[in-house]
Amino acid sequence: MTRPNPGYRDLKDSYLFYRISQKVAAYRDSHPGVRLYRLGIGDVSLPLCPAVTDALRAAVDDQGDKARFHGYMPECGAPFLRHAVAEHYRSRGTAVEDGEVFISSGASDELGDILDLFDRSNSAVVIEPSYPAYIDANVIAGRKIIRLASGEENGFLPCPDENAVADIIYICSPSNPTGAVFGRELLSRWVDHANRHGSVILFDAAYEAFIGDPDIPRSIFEIEGAKTCAIEICSLSKTAGFTGTRLGYTVIPRELERDGMSFNEMWIRNRTTKTNGVSYIIQRGGEAVFTPEGQRQIRENIEVYKNNARTIMKALDGAGITYFGGTNSPYVWMKCPASAGGDSWRFFDRLLNGIQVIGTPGAGFGSCGEGFFRLSSFGDPDETAVAAERLGALLRE
């Protein structure tokens, strides 16, 4: 008899966004016509920039022209896009070869698929509060998960812990949900730890474009020694508004080897087996992101989100509320006020019912997220301004 993967039995219900949508739907039913203000969204609100849409249109025309038509794309990515991404790293002084870049259809797909490179007996350490996919992907694979709690005391940036050694280490910087960013020194400690124990770091850099501080690494490969212990997973979703268009990239250094096996070569083998590549049209759109004009235009959008974050932080500052993130990150991770009893769902209800603002309860990102609340800067600026003003007023009461 077929035996289903028992990992699915061990998965916890992903009730965070489901429960939020239930509560919002119930509120709408009992308050028809009342406007709600979203500070909870993880999706972008601005469209693709003109450099990208022009490139997409031109690529559609290519596909309709016999002389310029493209069939299957290379499984690991079109050479023009692998080159554009590698050049982007090199322009910032980070040595990455074209052949170390793999084009993906987004970081989510990649975070799941990349686990094919690791033996099932490998354990994984996940820093909590965490992006839920790290835990779920490893539960499905039946791996042992070590949860490394972080909190206010370390600014949600824990040091490597000799009591929490694992084969796979997840680091997300800037972090979703806490907005915390790993500095050079702390990241060096994690790289040394991984090299010492033979672990591999899966570095999720989905929000790297929000780092404005030149002293904070945007890539783990800015850290000496990272090429022998890290894989970097990136996305154009938040960088360039590709959430619905789908495109990402992953960097696997040639130096990354364990047991005489090259992770770069294994990934080539994996991709040539499991995918026929990302659409030509979308890859041309992605290429446009890395042109000078594309970079200028995506920066304008990122600035809009950064301004939203500033608006939110100003409201919290005015109310004397402790928070993390917001500066080099699209997320602001605020401490629930004492009046909510440190209960992030209670705070959620208060915001929804009292000021019609929707955020995300920290409890949904692991138990040490309880007592905190995630606010997102990806919303519309006018909506964000109203929501922040209402939030500030409520917190000052």
Closest CB to ligand PLP among residues 374, 390: 374
Pick the stretch among 53-61, 103-111, 256-264, 380-388 that binds ligand PLP (CB under 6 A).
103-111
**Of positions 7, 41, 42, 112, contacts ligand PLP by CB under 6 A:** 42
Pick the stretch among 80-88, 100-108, 163-171, 364-372 that binds ligand PLP (CB under 6 A).
100-108
What residues from 208 to 237 belong to the interface with ligand PLP (CB under 6 A)?
A: 235, 237
Closest CB to ligand PLP among residues 37, 207: 207
Total residues binding ligand PLP (CB under 6 A): 13
169 part of the interface to ligand PLP, by CB under 6 A: no
Closest CB to ligand PLP among residues 84, 395: 84
**Which candidate, 282, 367, 375, 357, places its Cα nearest to that of 321?**
375
Min separation Cβ 1 and ligand PLP, Å? 35
342 part of the interface to ligand PLP, by CB under 6 A: no
Indicate the residue type of 380: D
Min separation Cβ 392 and ligand PLP, Å? 26
131 part of the interface to ligand PLP, by CB under 6 A: yes
Closest CB to ligand PLP among residues 106, 392: 106
Min separation Cβ 261 and ligand PLP, Å? 26
**Of positions 243, 262, 291, 295, contacts ligand PLP by CB under 6 A:** 243
**Of positions 49, 206, 231, 351, contacts ligand PLP by CB under 6 A:** 206
- 200 burial (CB, 10 Å; 0-12 / 13-18 / 19+) is buried
**Of positions 55, 86, 107, 340, contacts ligand PLP by CB under 6 A:** 107
Q: What are phi and psi of 313, to 5 degrees?
A: -65, -35
x/- map, 175-204, ligand PLP, by CB under 6 A: -x---------------------------x
Could you count the other beta carbons within 10 Å of the beta carbon of residue 35? 8
Provide the binding-site residues for ligand PLP, judged by CB under 6 A. 42, 106-108, 131, 172, 176, 204, 206, 235, 237, 243, 248
